[in-house]
Amino acid sequence: MNNGSARIAGAIVTYGFVGLMAFLSIFPFVWMLLGATNSSIDIIKGKMLPGSALATNISTFFTQVNAPLVFWNSAKIAILATALTLAVSSLAGYGFEMFRSRRRDRIYSALLLTMMIPFAALMIPLFIMMGKVGLINTHLAVVLPSIGSAFVVFYFRQCTKAFPSELRDAAKVDGLKEWQIFLYIYVPVMRSTYAAAFIIVFMTAWNNYLWPLIVLQSNETKTITLVISSLASAYYPDYGVVMVGTILATLPTLAVFFFMQRQFVQGMLGSVK
């Protein structure tokens, strides 16, 4: 085989492989969209053409599920958890980086180890704790344990390294207090860091499953993720309705991804670069 045909063969293999992987990655999304337009039987039989059941599926979804309430629950939890996590973590990241001391550096190293703690080892004590203070079946019980996150603190500390210290020195000369420097200078300067962290924390909170499954026991408090899960685990799940649910649950994160792709990837990468 001469050099030219070897190169062509290489290109065919490359494009074939990458193309196949891209196809397999996208296929479930296409299947989900088509599924929403078909009846449950057609979906399970693997029909890959648009059907006429979209209106039926949507109306069944809205009669089976109190959609506005479920979405409100998900949004409330995700927004509250994200706002508090960002506030607490950026304060800590700023504090660890700007006010270095040997003791705090040591605590910081220990803090990073908590990233390895598996949630399964926390859920029983957390459940008992929430029971004792009467927070079972409240959204507060979902939000509270998620605020303190070593990963997000780590992310903010790494990004704070790029914060120009001249800005801080100048503000000090102007007589600003430490909290004023943080609030009026650090926060606006670091907005792209906040944007990336927002996306990643919001997505985690929106998609959170195991802990809400444990603490949210009544239908009035359930989130969209819990609702899809219970729709799909019925003995004979109505897949058309399930598809409508998964589309609605995926839409917010999908929208964020397409409109803020750069920050999205930056947030995913954390501070590995």
Partner 1 sequence: MALAHRGGIGRYYNINGWLFVAPALGLIALFMIYPILWSLWMSFQSGRGMMLKFAGFANIVRLWNDPVFIKALTNTMTYFVVQVPIMILLALILASLLNNPRLVGRGFFRTAIFLPCVTSLVAYSVLFKGMFALDGIVNSTLEAVGIIASPIPWLTHPFWAKVLVIIAITWRWTGYNMIFYLAAMQNIDKSIYEVARIDGVPAWARFTHITIPLLKPVILFTTVISTIGTIQLFDEVYNLTEGKGGPSNATLTLSLYIYNLTFRFMPNFGYAATVSYVIVVLVALLASLQFFAARERDR
Tell which positions 136-165 bind partner 1, by CB under 8 A: 144-145, 147-150, 153
Q: Specify the stretch interacting with partner 1 by CB under 8 A; choose among 14-22, 64-72, 163-171, 190-198.
A: 14-22
- Which of 58, 242 has the CB closer to partner 1? 242
User: Cβ distance 92 to 153 under 8 Å?
Assistant: yes
The reply on whether position 171 binds partner 1 by CB under 8 A is no
The reply on whether position 236 binds partner 1 by CB under 8 A is no
Site string for partner 1, 187-226 (x = CB under 8 A): ----------------x--xx-xx---x----------x-
b/e map 148-179, b = 16+ CB within 10 Å: ebbbbbbbbbbbbeebeeeebeebeeeebeee
Tokens representing residue 113 in the block: 């180890």
Tokens representing residue 5 in the block: 């045909």
- Which of 2, 101 has the CB closer to partner 1? 101
Count residues binding partner 1 (CB under 8 A). Answer: 86
The reply on whether position 241 binds partner 1 by CB under 8 A is no
Phi-psi region of 140 (alpha: psi -120 to 50; beta: other; left: phi over 0): alpha
The reply on whether position 16 binds partner 1 by CB under 8 A is no
Residue showing tokens 């839409």: 251
The reply on whether position 12 binds partner 1 by CB under 8 A is no
Of 8, 9, 12, 21, the residue at the interface with partner 1 (CB under 8 A) is 21
Q: Specify the stretch interacting with partner 1 by CB under 8 A; choose among 64-72, 104-112, 165-173, 190-198.
A: 104-112
Cβ burial of 221 (10 Å; 0-12, 13-18, 19+) is: buried
Contacts of 144 (CB under 8 A, 6+ apart): 135
**Nearest residue to 207 via CA among 152, 157, 142:** 142
Counting every residue written for the chain, the total comes to 273
The reply on whether position 273 binds partner 1 by CB under 8 A is yes
User: Cβ distance 34 to 244 under 8 Å?
Assistant: no
Site string for partner 1, 26-65 (x = CB under 8 A): x-xx-xx--x-------xxxx-x-----------------
The reply on whether position 109 binds partner 1 by CB under 8 A is no
- Which of 58, 246 has the CB closer to partner 1? 246
